[in-house]
Amino acid sequence: MSHLFQEINDFETVQLINEKGEVLQNDLLPALSDKELQLLMERMIYIRTIDQRCITLSRQGRLGFYAPVSGQEATMIGTQYVLEKEDWILPGYRDLPQMLYQGVPLYQLFLWSMGHHKGGRMPEGVNVMPPQIIIGAQIIQAAGVGLGLKKRKKDNVVITYTGDGGTSQGDFYEGINFAGVFNTPTIFVVQNNQYAISTPFEKQTAAKSIAHKSVAAGIKGVRVDGMDILATYVVAKEARERAISSDGPTLIEAVNYRYGPHSTSGDDPTIYRNEQLEKEWAKKDPIIRFRLFLEKKGLWAKERELQIIEQAKEDVKFAIKQAESESKTNVSNLIENMYAEDLPYNLKEQLHQVKEKENR
């Protein structure tokens, strides 16, 4: 057989701690203080507790669309933790945890879920775009934001997130190609949670991995255990350092698993996932794994975990009340917030008609 066609080498999965909390690669462990290690654990527990409460609130009709995140905390928290305040996040609809720790208040994330017009109004000085509901659209936008940072000679990066299904969208390929051509300081994080709604990863692409897709774009690619928070932190930190050093963008494939449904909008994962698969991934749980690691170092106590859980529950109670206290969104609000300056004449006419009906 001809040897003209060469096989692309496999991308080895970066993993620092295993399911038992044992260190696999001491030389790659990040130089984080004991307090920082504890903080990473606190954030994962906090987010999982909020996630559970949000699912309940959505089913009660108090929240709107909500995409569960349990199982993906290590990817979300680990990659966001490397960011500076002036860095940008371009999230997808599942990426509320990263937005929270970049400075968006919890109640505003709830407003976004409710479809309230104030939900997409990011606080002044918080470099976060509203969550993109169109699959993969944030990828090409992140390449553009990265080019803007480069032209302004900013010593900052933009990070964006999507799922494995997002890599099948045209915008994904356009975005990573654009970033590669213009060498933008952009970090693309793909959370390969095994299912794009009900479509399994093996039916999503013929590529050996999502990391392989970096090759065609001429950018750095890496595959990481997305349920190992130290591994996600290390690869994201290196990606950020490369970006600000003008060494180019990075595509990070974080291999993880979403325990819950794709969203609370009617998806039933029991139809396409079996109990054995759930058990296998449960053994890799990011919180259990990191808890074992911290306990071996004498850095974790059950009492602190319970405190974090209770704090998260109280914060959710306060935030949902705050969000529900806002006046309801109406059609005129949506029209008035569409343009920063004067509305075009046709929308002015429509606004006048709408207000007449609302005031009756």
Q: Which residues are catalytic?
A: 258, 262, 272
Would you state the structure tokens that stand for residue 106, as one six-digit string?
A: 């919890």
Would you state the structure tokens that stand for residue 35, as one six-digit string?
A: 């307090």
- Tell me the C-alpha distance between 237 and 36, whole Å: 15
- Tell me the C-alpha distance between 11 and 311, whole Å: 40
Nearest to 80 by CA among 113, 56, 111, 46: 46
203, HSE (Cβ side, Cα atoms, 13 Å): 7
Phi-psi sector, 21: left (phi>0), alpha (psi -120 to 50), beta: left
Q: How many CB atoms lie within 10 A of CB 32?
A: 15
Nearest to 147 by CA among 172, 182, 116, 113: 182
Beta bridge partners of 17: 23
Q: Are 296 and 29 in contact (CB under 8 A)?
A: no
